[in-house]
Amino acid sequence: MIDLEIDGGLAVVTVDRPEARNAISPATMDELEKALDAVDASGAHALAVTGGGDRAFISGGDLKELATIRTKEGAVGMALRMRGLCDRIAAFRGPVIAAVNGHALGGGAEIAVAADIRVAVEGAQIGFTQVMLAVMPAWGGAERLAAVVGRGRALMLAGSGTVVDAAEAARLGLVDKVFPRAEFDAGWGALARSLAHRPAAETKRVMSGALGPREVAEAFGDLWVADEHWVEVDKVLNRIRGK
């Protein structure tokens, strides 16, 4: 249901429920929580979230299972639980890439905007379609969408339930890069691996705005004295010297 692979500083979480188009059920939430615990403990520097197969990234909440929730208390509890998981994805210490391999609808779109970077396959559709069920995004997606595309565009998208394709999503700034299907896996994988290192994670921390000038300089200093920095410096100096 949730697959986790960690290799070379990159953790990849895959929601793999082909029978439900990778929809999120309560059991999926349980497995996602365990996967995120493992990612946090792993020391990975970057995280990618994707869906199994090529039809859907995540098609939202699993309505067959979530429709059993009939009380306000139950609805609030479910929303808070999944909001907490999306918050964990967004707060991961390093870059987070949503590899949108297919349609991302409803809650799937909310998970996509919890990432720092969204890469989509050509033809994928993205939509905050909760309004079609007479509800609203409640997993943090509305606020994150507004931060990504601006309040007006976000309200138009989430308020109307408009579904856009990958090309239009890129034009709106909702998607950062679009790959043809044949190039998608290699493309997003190469991007994710290029970010799976400590300097990229520290850059994300700086971009959060939570650090003052001294703290930024301290973080830079830690990287400067690290062995990895001097290995790369030696490579450059050797090239300059013709070695």
Q: Is 57 helix (H, G, I), strand (E, B) or coil?
A: strand
- Please report the pLDDT score of residue 15 as a whole number: 98
- Please report the pLDDT score of residue 210 as a whole number: 87
- Please report the pLDDT score of residue 207 as a whole number: 95
**Percentages of the chain per state (helix, strand, coil), in multiples of 5:** 55, 20, 30
**pTM of the predicted structure, to 2 decimals:** 0.95
* Residue 11 phi, psi dihedral angles, 5° rounding: -105, 130
Which residue from 157, 133, 136 is spatially nearest to 146, judged by alpha carbons? 157
Output the six-digit token pair for 201: 């994670």
Q: Alpha-carbon distance 187 to 123, whole Å?
A: 16
Residues of the chain with pLDDT under 70: 243
**Which domains does the chain possess?**
2-194 (3.90.226.10), 211-240 (no CATH)
- Please report the pLDDT score of residue 224 as a whole number: 97
Q: Alpha-carbon distance 184 to 99, whole Å?
A: 9
Q: Which residue bears the tokens 């890469």?
A: 119
- Please report the pLDDT score of residue 9 as a whole number: 96
- Please report the pLDDT score of residue 145 as a whole number: 98
